[in-house]
Amino acid sequence: MAMTSPTQPENALLHLIDGYRVTAVIYVAATLGIPDFLFDGAKTAEDLARLTATHEPSLNRFMRALAALGICCETSDRKFELTETGTSLAAKSERSLKSWALMEGGLIMPGWNQLIETIRTGKTIDELAGRGSERFEVLAERKEAAALFNDAMVSMTRLTLPAVLSALDLSGIATVMDVGGGLGQLMGAILGKYPSMRGIVFDLPHCADDAKKNLSAAGVAARAEFIAGNFFESVPAGADAIILKSIIHDWNDKRCVRILQNCNRALKPGARLTVIERIVPENLESDADAQGVILSDLNMLRGPGGCERTANEFRTLLVKGGFRMERTLSTGRYFVIETTRV
């Protein structure tokens, strides 16, 4: 019988099947702090085993995996050093994604094992576990998990903020409110760009202390306030414009309409609502951007029960909430969706 090798399509499929291994390796590296130790300079496997209290022969094999993934490389004197990509796994990096790696590997990936049950039943991971449907209230009760989630969101905001801020036009606005504004990173940057503007961060009570610290660190505390509340119940009045960043994709249409209607009640006719979200392309192609937003859609399905949407789906949703979509601006990962309160 003739020996055969996998064809190119088969190799591509095998690469996809084995994808979970990549996430696991990156998660272990971040958990052990290997990129943090290498951030200060190249080290041998022996050095790293001592610093991480691990089994040296096993760690040496693990470092080969990191090198194969392009996270680090091995030098001629058998030391390991970070690549440019690997640098972003170190906590000290200005563009650090360490907390994102810890969140994906520790909080998110285990739940994907139940994706088949979500597809079969339509239930989220919390509903399947009998924890109800209030994903973020459940998360807030797990303090370490909530802290990691918030840190991960901060790291992604930090990376995407310059492009978003460049596209975000808030000229002429006296007071802006970030609904679901979390720890205040976006508001801090907005008030830094507009020195005469005042800002309100509106989110659940457990975000208050860290949001106030971040606004103070940004030097805008005198022009900002944090208001605690639940956007499903009401949104406070007092702002000339509202921002919703990475909020709408968390929820199903019915709950999104409730959020939008509450924002509508808080604004005057003609006021601006800016939605910042990923957008699903109308015609899907197999490229990195499309894969990213579609896999995020599945993550919303099995997590909080939301979804990523096309531009037309956003337009329909906004009309139901009392807003007219004006235009969308691409910033790379996210789109800035400008709307007007009708």
Tell me which residues are annotated as active site: 249
Distance CA 228, CA 336 (A): 25
Rounded Cα distance between 152 and 157, Å, is 9
Q: Which burial class, exposed, middle or buried, applies to 164 when counting CB atoms under 10 A from its CB (0-12, 13-18, 19+)?
A: buried
Give, for 175, the enclosing helix (H) or strand (E). strand 175-179
Task: Give the C-alpha separation, 260 to 264, whole Å.
Answer: 6
Count of beta carbons in the 10 Å neighbourhood of residue 306: 22
Q: Are 72 and 66 in contact (CB under 8 A)?
A: yes
User: Strands 224-228, 241-245: parallel, antiparallel or unpaired by DSSP?
Assistant: unpaired
Q: Which two tokens stand for residue 248?
A: 């709408």
Q: Which amino acid is at 256?
A: C
For residues 82 and 90, is the Cβ–Cβ distance under 8 A? yes
